[in-house]
Amino acid sequence: MLNSLPYKTKQFFWLAIKLSIVIGCGYFVYQKLVENDNFHFSDFYQNLIKNNVFSLKNSVILLFFTFFNWILEITKWKNLASSVQKISFYEATKQSLASLTTSLITPNRIGEYGAKALYFKKQHRKQIVGLNLVGNFYQMLITLIFGVIGFGFFYYNNDVTINFRRVMRILLLGLFLISAFFFGAKHFKYRGYSTEKARKFIDRIQFSLNVKTAFLSLFRYLVFSHQFYFLLLLFNVEISYFDAITAITSVYFIASIVPMLSLFDVVLKGTVAIWVFTYFDIPPITILSITTLMWIFNFVIPAIIGSYFVLIFKPVANK
């Protein structure tokens, strides 16, 4: 449809989309930080000042965690995308940060898939979407593995009350839906594409690439989970390393299995973290401050940089 539009019209169309993404992202970030009835910015600010969180030393360490986190994510994407079309580290950076900005206002960051695909020619876009899915799958797999182990220790060592009947109903429903998808989707086709083609695409991915992606996902998980732990130390929380790690992995595990608009990720993780850390008698304002800082450092700051790449984005010519 876009190919039939005059050149100037297409330029205006893309400019409108890019500005809408950037303005929308900025507005929702402002809403979450300043005009949030459940989160008082003045209390958050006072808590930061009280604990001297933004001293030069602390700021450098926190930014280092963020930098290393995104270096690993960008490297992971560069390796995956280069299996289809060789791209530089700078190109991978543009695609990763611009897609983050775009995805913040979409459920479960689904906008990331389309945003990255637009950087490639039409004939490569389905492969790019598939590779992005592979990268996110490994990140989710690492989160689930560590989360199940961490939550197991958390449950065993604390007097946690869980409605197992409700949990079993949810698990059985999930198992039924997954089974229905895999058995039913085998015969499902859409415009000539079937799950058989998707399986063949996954089989074509080199074993070495899968291993690299898994390890980069693991290292990235270790980086942001220890950034959380470092913030616990900055806020003078009295908790052992073992208890902290089991609580942190439990928070990410629970939050990861709840579908939610990415912009409200801070609300979800804050709510889950408050519940988990109440078992260690940690004040809710401290946990909210930490989850908000994690969101700012790992989503808001990269999204601001990504806004620039969104604004300078030029559609790829499909020739």
Provide the residue ranges of all domains of the chain, joining segments of one domain with +: 9-311
Main-chain dihedrals φ then ψ at residue 187, nearest 5 degrees: -105, 5
DSSP conformation class of 296: I
Token pair 């290292």 is at which residue?
219
- Model pTM above 0.85: no
Amino acid in position 280: F
Q: d(Cα 6, Cα 157) in Å, to the nearest integer? A: 65
Of 204, 36, 186, the closest CA to residue 130 belongs to 204
Task: Determine contact, residues 270/258, Cβ cutoff 8 Å.
Answer: no
Structure-token pair, residue 225: 């989970």
Q: d(Cα 141, Cα 221) in Å, to the nearest integer? A: 11
Of 193, 186, 74, 69, the closest CA to residue 125 belongs to 193
Q: Each residue's pLDDT tens digit in the chain (319 positions)?
A: 445 445 445 444 445 555 565 555 555 555 555 555 555 666 777 778 888 888 999 999 999 999 999 999 999 999 999 999 999 999 999 999 998 888 876 766 777 888 898 889 888 888 898 899 899 989 989 998 999 899 989 988 887 766 555 555 555 655 555 555 445 544 445 444 445 565 666 667 888 999 999 999 999 999 999 999 999 999 999 999 999 999 999 999 888 876 554 555 666 677 788 888 988 989 888 888 898 899 889 988 998 898 888 888 776 766 5
In sequence order, the β-bridge partners of residue 189 are: 194
Q: In sequence order, which residues have a C-beta less than 8 Å from that of residue 2 and are 6 or more positions away?
A: 10, 13, 315
